[in-house]
Amino acid sequence: GNQNVLKTSLDKPFTKLLQTTRYALALVIPLLFLSFISAAQIQTKPVINSTLKGKVIDAKTRENLLGVSVQIKGTTNGAVTDGKGEFNLITGQIFPYTLVVSYIGYEKQELVVSSGPIQIELKANPNQLNDVVVVGYGVQRRKDITGSVASVPKEALSQVSPSVDNLLRGAVSGVNVTQSSGQPGASATIRIRGGNSITAGNEPLYVIDGFPIYNDNSSVSTGIGGSATGTNSGLNALATINPGDIESIDILKDASATAIYGSRGANGVVIITTKLGKRGTQNVTYNTYFGQQKITKQLSLLNGTQWAQLYNDVIAAQGAGTPLTATQISTIGNGSDWQNATYRTAPVQNHDLSFSGGDEKSRFAVSGNYFKQQGITINTDFSRYSARFNYERSLSSKFKIGLNATGSRSTSNGVAANTGALASGFANLGAVALSTSPAVAIKSADGTYNVNNPYSAGYSGNPIQDLNTVVNETNVTRTLGNFFGEYNLLQGLVARVSFGADLLNTRQNYFAPKSSLNGSALNGTAAIGNNDVNTWLNENTLTYSKAINTQHTFSVLLGYTTQYYKSESVTSSSSNFLNESSTYNKLDAGSVANPPSSSAYSWALNSYLARINYSYLKRYNFTLSARADGSSKFGSGKRWGYFPSAGFSWNIADEDFLKDNKLISNLKLRLSAGATGNQEIGVYNYLTAFTPLTTSLNGTFLTAYIASQLGNEKLKWEKTTQYNIGTDIGLFDNRIVLTADAYYKKTTDLLLLVSLPLSSGFSTALQNVGAVSNKGIELGINTDNIRGNDFTWKTSLVYSLNRNEVLSLGSASYINPSVPTILSLLAPVRVIVGQPLGTFWGFKTDGIFQNQNEINNSATSDTKANTKPGDQKYKNLGGDPNIITANDDKTVLGSSQPKFTGSLTNTFTYQGFDLLVFLQGSYGNKIYNALKQQLNVTSLVLNSTTDVLDRWTPANPSNSVPRASNQPTQVMSDRYIEDGSYLRLKTLTLGYTVKQGTLFNKAGIKSLRFYLSAQNLATWTKYTGYDPEASSFEQNPLLQGIDYGAYPNYRTFLAGLNITL
């Protein structure tokens, strides 16, 4: 099975290589002509005389710097440092003289030399203009870029984070990161310049060392343990990558930058480059931290006495008196604190050990990582072991090879979904614990868990016991590797071929013992699932770079790539366990076997790409790029999509009229336009298909085939056209650097699950219908406030504003997306033309009915006879004046999309100390607090929040909380739509770097830093749930901003150490 897949998949790229070589040769010939135009540069050699020996190192990291230019001022005499950072300059001069030392990415230094040998320390240049930025299929100087490309600052990269996506938080403008839950290993939702798509994926494309990966959490799930309901058990596929290995992250935002990724570029591209050793140095680095995490906040729930009074009130509302006496109520006292029993203080630790180095010919980095995070909910954790090997070597002056390979094993123990008898109200076992009556004891007198809940019919289990005993484990093994060969065919002409594989294997284990709520009805149930996802990639590119005179520089990129993806999953389960000791390890110990299930699918993508960068006088830069993608996911005639882009930038500061301006050190204008696509729709959607279904007829199980989808041979790409205008401004010698962008994106031919007339027998079909727009402004300001020798202070401000609007849904004016769980009854979300995605839909509350007269004179949602004083009143917005109906009186209640987001980072250094203060916030987004709605349904069984203490009674004419009654019907209203705006002190880090000294040199320590850090130290928000960063439905683009008992966020205090030998 698998071996065959492996073999055939490998064969394909090799055949392709041969073909590609042919293409390559056809391209080489015209380029040859161009190369002859080049003029060879002649180097003048200095007269042999006196010499100066020296060494150049990085002032901070103490690493040797290779390739530094050392020149005597006023002469052409110069040398370049070698692999040990050393130079031997033939000076022909008498001391003293002035040296000019320059190196890309470092501040130029002039120093007077009066004797040799010398050691020169270079400081890294805070000015990023000369930095090299990784763009698709290549690198570019920031100065020459025409598109909107943001690099995540070094400060952000050095943040402590369990996974890559969380590093992007607040780091650059235009990128909105929302943590979906606090569960260790859980994912974040990332939107680059808003969501383009309604049904298809909205997450960006990640390119890790050249390997494109769409971070689809379903690839690490088999649906076991309840992740199918989208509630809190998904593991983040990106958590398999060690953030400590990351050298740089560059984010491609506009079409000029992303169109080279064609059909996958519409949601933006995150390019991740991992660390490689530096030439001329060998380092051993060990980074570690230990920390403690604690829940940031407790929900205010009823205590035992308060709950007992509510219980009495509910029964009294049924006209059945008050069963609990005052004595009984006072005996209950505070009762059990289920919330407190659910959460704990939990440790986290991380260890990174890396070896890196390089010489003139090769560079390498080898690293190992161990990360272990216990969750703040009992019995949850995430751990990762990973190893990486990066290697690059020049085999000859023309031939270079390289390898990036990483292997990791991640294990997550998550909160299981609630599938038990009370599953109707709460999505997961954690939320079940919160909802348990405080009048029920957690443990019995004999110390065992109490499973007798006198207020609940049937077996209710004990949620704390369940959290401890229900196994919900995900193990992910990932091997991601990419190797390449690069050959200099001619001066400036480089051919590059790479092969890569991403082997992702997921194993999930689930076990709910008969003592648990989930397992009680089935007498213990176990399930295992395996999902094997393999991606193969072959990329072939040809790059030609050329400078003509000093006026024209250009580079041309041509490429062909092919990618193949296959996923095979299988799950099996059984129940009715006589003996539970083998848990999920022996399914045949359960006497009831369920039908196993399995599935397999694959997709392939073949692409041609091309890009031309042209620069005139290094002032006027042009980029043209195009990609043609052929995807198997679409109808036979619609497989190929074409994605062109054009960009222009003008370095105005280099013009004569600004050249000597003291104020303006950099001024650049950027313009771009282009088209990108989206293919994240799943597979085979264009086919008419039948799926098997097991059904029963008169007690006999039999297989049925049911038509599961109506084919659409016209299915094609979703297309996003984007326009960008931006400017980069540097003032006062770049002490103030400002980047501003404005953009407009329009996505058409949306891959939309269009509602069909149900009389067709089908509910929906995927069609290319409708349009969405995103427009916005991004601002990034970096200031170098104080640049002293002892004290420095830098500030960085990031601001993003995006306005999303659904422009069209074809013939429909709205869509009701399907919502899992009990929330389907409430239908809280609607996609409406003219409104943003994530629009909440429901009734507007209008206080509480105070008396019968008010009921008689108002619209009521029930009949007048059935409406009582104390019931919720809703606004009548039209239709029948006497009755509130869903058809006439539901309206827009706000959107989960923020009006703007921002972050502010201040970094201070004083001698060896460094202090980082990182504030992050979001404004204007709404959260649907679905957990609170479920808790506040007054009943005779479940606990509520203390909101219900203010419930309406004749004596307490509340105008906000209705009277107590037994499970009043739930309706979607603005009562549980809350302001999700927040400002958060996300990170506070104080570090101390030990000064260099002889002790250091003896011990061979190049650098040593200690730090203390706090995350989520303070949050200012009106949101009454655990945390304003919550999204129970994770990556689902339509169900953002719903908090249905999402795993709460936590505060972390940690201490760390970085040491380099």
Partner 1 sequence: CNKLDEKPYSLVTPDGLTTASDATALVSGVYASLIYDPGEQPIYGRNINFLADMTTDDWAAGPAAINANVQALSRDIHDASNDRVLAIWRQHYQGIGRANTAIDIIGGLSIDPVLRLRLAREAKFLRALLYFNLVRFFGAIPLVLHTSTDLTNLKTPRSAVDVVYTQIIADLTDAENLPAIYTGTDKGRATSGAAKALLAKVYLTRRNWDGAIAKAAEVINNKAAYGYDLPVSFADNFDYTKRNSGEIIYATDFTLNASLVSYNYLFASSWPSATGNRADVPADISLYSLYASNDIRRAKTFYTSKVALVGTNPTVFTYAAPGYFNKYVTDAYAYAGINGYAAPISFPVLRYADLLLIYAEALNEKNNGPTAAAFEALNEVRRRAFSQPIYSPGAYDVTALTNGTYTGFQDAVWLERRLELACEANRWFDLVRETRDGKSRLVSEVSKIASKTAVSERNNLFPIPQSQRDLDPEGLPQNPGYGN
Peptide bond into 957 cis (omega under 30): no
Q: Cβ closer to partner 1: 160 or 332?
A: 332
Q: Which of 378, 610, 807, 812 binds partner 1 (CB under 8 A)?
A: 812
Candidates 105-113, 671-679, 830-838, 881-889: pick the segment binding partner 1 (CB under 8 A).
Answer: 881-889
- Locate 813 and state its tokens: 């004016």
With beta carbons less than 8 A apart as the criterion, state whether 1015 and 296 touch.
no
Query: Closest distance between partner 1 and the C-beta of residue 198, in Å?
Result: 17
Minimum distance from residue 538 beta carbon to partner 1 (Å): 9
Do 739 and 728 form a contact (C-beta atoms < 8 A)?
A: yes
Tokens of 636: 């036979």
Minimum distance, C-beta of residue 555 to partner 1, in the bound complex (Å): 27
Q: Is 286 in the site for partner 1 (CB under 8 A)?
A: no
**Residue span binding partner 1 (CB under 8 A) among the ranges 72-80, 491-499, 625-633, 779-787:** 625-633
Helix (H) or strand (E) holding 703: strand 700-709
Based on the shown chain and the rule CB under 8 A, indicate whether residue 610 belongs to the binding site for partner 1.
no
Q: Does 600 bind partner 1 (CB under 8 A)?
A: yes
Going through 809-949 in order, the beta strands assigned E by DSSP cover 814-815, 831-832, 839-842, 845-848, 872-874, 891-895, 900-910, 913-923, 926-928
Closer by beta carbon to partner 1, 785 or else 966: 966
Residue 378: both structure tokens together: 């009992």
Query: Residues with Cβ < 8 Å from 479, sequence gap 6 or more?
Result: 405, 406, 407, 501, 502, 503
Near partner 1 in 655-714, by CB under 8 A? 683-684, 687-708, 710-712, 714
Q: Which stretch binds partner 1 (CB under 8 A): 79-87, 590-598, 982-990, 1051-1059?
A: 590-598
Which of 808-823 are b and which e, b meaning 16 or more Cβ less than 10 Å from the residue's Cβ? bbbebeebebebbbbb
Q: What are the distances in angstroms from CA 697 to CA 191, 593, 701, 703?
A: 48, 19, 7, 10
5 contributes a contact to partner 1 by CB under 8 A:
no
Q: Which of 55, 639, 670, 746 binds partner 1 (CB under 8 A)?
A: 639
Least spacing, CB of residue 754 vs partner 1, in Å: 8
Q: Is 397 in the site for partner 1 (CB under 8 A)?
A: no
581 Cβ neighbours under 8 A, 6+ residues apart: none
Residue 879 region, left (φ>0) first, then alpha (ψ -120 to 50), else beta? left
Amino acid identity, position 974: D
CB neighbour list of residue 144: distance below 8 Å, 6 or more residues apart: 613, 615, 618, 621, 649
Q: Is 424 in the site for partner 1 (CB under 8 A)?
A: yes
Residue pair 665/733 in contact (Cβ under 8 Å)? The answer is yes
Q: Which of 4, 43, 396, 863 binds partner 1 (CB under 8 A)?
A: 863
Between residues 158 and 712, which has the closer beta carbon with respect to partner 1? Answer: 712
Q: Minimum distance from CB of 371 to partner 1 (Å)?
A: 35
Task: Find the binder of partner 1 among 74, 117, 333, 879 (CB under 8 A).
Answer: 879
Buried b / exposed e along 156-188 (16+ C-beta atoms within 10 A):
bbbbbbbbbbbbbbbbbbbbbbbbbbbbbbbbb
CB of 657 to partner 1, least distance (A): 53
Residues that bind partner 1 (rule: CB under 8 A) add up to a total of 114
Q: Please state the closest distance from residue 588 (CB atom) to partner 1, in A.
A: 15
Which one among 485, 820, 912, 924 touches partner 1, defined by CB under 8 A?
A: 820
Angle subtended at Cα 181 by Cα 440 and Cα 461, rounded to the nearest 5 degrees: 25
| 750 belongs to the binding site for partner 1 (CB under 8 A) | no
- Which of positions 932-951 make contact with partner 1 (CB under 8 A)? 937, 939-941
Q: Determine which residue in the list 967, 999, 1020, 1022 makes contact with partner 1, applying CB under 8 A.
A: 967
Judged by CB under 8 A, the stretch of 645-653, 770-778, 877-885, 895-903 that binds partner 1 is: 877-885
Q: Is 632 in the site for partner 1 (CB under 8 A)?
A: yes
Among 525, 720, 734, 1016, binds partner 1 (CB under 8 A): 525
Piece of 158-166, 361-369, 410-418, 750-758 that binds partner 1 (CB under 8 A)? 750-758
The correct pick among 345, 599, 856, 946 for binding partner 1 (CB under 8 A) is: 599
Site for partner 1 in 8-27 (CB under 8 A): 12, 15-16, 19
Distances in whole angstroms, Cα of residue 241 to Cα of each of 176, 213, 385: 21, 12, 10
Among 548, 786, 825, 1018, binds partner 1 (CB under 8 A): 825
Q: Does residue 775 sit in helix, strand or coil?
A: strand
Minimum distance from residue 813 beta carbon to partner 1 (Å): 7
Query: Considering beta carbons, is residue 39 or 758 the nearer one to partner 1?
Result: 758
Torsion of CA 873, 876, 881, 884, to 10 degrees: -60
* Between 132 and 822, CB nearer to partner 1: 822
Phi, psi angle pair for 926, to nearest 5°? -105, 150
Site for partner 1 contains 885 (CB under 8 A): yes
Q: Give residues 36-95 in contact with partner 1 (rule: CB under 8 A).
A: none
Helix (H, G, I), strand (E, B) or coil at 193: coil
Rule CB under 8 A: choose which of 468, 551, 661, 866 binds partner 1.
866
Residue with smaller CB distance to partner 1, 124 or 687: 687
Contacts of partner 1 in 455-494 (CB under 8 A): 455-460
Is 4 one of the binding residues for partner 1 (CB under 8 A)? no
Rounded to whole angstroms, the Cα distance separating 745 from 199 reads 17
> Contact at 8 Å (CB) between 268 and 204?
yes
Tell me the closest approach of the beta carbon of residue 565 to partner 1, in angstroms: 9
Tokens of 62: 């103490």
**Candidate residues 14, 95, 399, 601; the one interacting with partner 1 per rule CB under 8 A:** 601
Q: Is 528 in the site for partner 1 (CB under 8 A)?
A: no
- Helices within 607-756 (DSSP H only): 656-659
Q: Exactly one of 378, 421, 892, 1012 binds partner 1 (CB under 8 A); which one?
A: 421
Q: Tokens for 148, please give them.
A: 């909107």
Cα–Cα distance, 605 to 627 (Å, whole number): 12
Q: How far is the CB of 812 from partner 1 (least distance, A)?
A: 7
Between residues 623 and 939, which has the closer beta carbon with respect to partner 1?
939
The full DSSP string for 87-150 is: EEEE---PSSEEEEEE-TTB--EEEEE-SSSEEEEEPBPS-GGG-EEEETTEEEEGGG--S-EE
Specify the residue, 879 or 957, whose C-beta has the smaller distance to partner 1. 879
Q: Which stretch binds partner 1 (CB under 8 A): 448-456, 477-485, 490-498, 1034-1042?
A: 448-456
Report DSSP letters for 329-390, one per residue. HHHHTT---HHHHHB--EEEEEEEEEEEEE-SSEEEEEEEEEEEEE-SBTT-EEEEEEEEEE
214 near partner 1 (CB under 8 A): no
Q: How far is the CB of 808 from partner 1 (least distance, A)?
A: 15
**757-786: which residues touch partner 1 (CB under 8 A)?**
757-763, 765, 767
Give all strands (DSSP E) within 491-636, no chain letters.
Answer: 493-512, 525-548, 552-577, 590-593, 597-616, 620-631
Residues 6+ apart with CB under 8 A from 859: 874, 876, 880, 881, 882, 883, 884, 889
Nearest one of 685, 691, 754, 672 to 716, comparing CA atoms: 685
Binding residues for partner 1 restricted to 549-588, rule: CB under 8 A: 562-564, 573, 575-576
Residue 856 makes contact with partner 1 by CB under 8 A: no
For residue 32, give the H/E element and its range. helix 2-36
Per rule CB under 8 A, is residue 321 in the interface with partner 1? no
Task: For the CB of residue 594, give the shortest distance to partner 1 in the complex, in Å.
Answer: 4
Alpha-carbon Rg for the chain, nearest whole angstrom, is 32
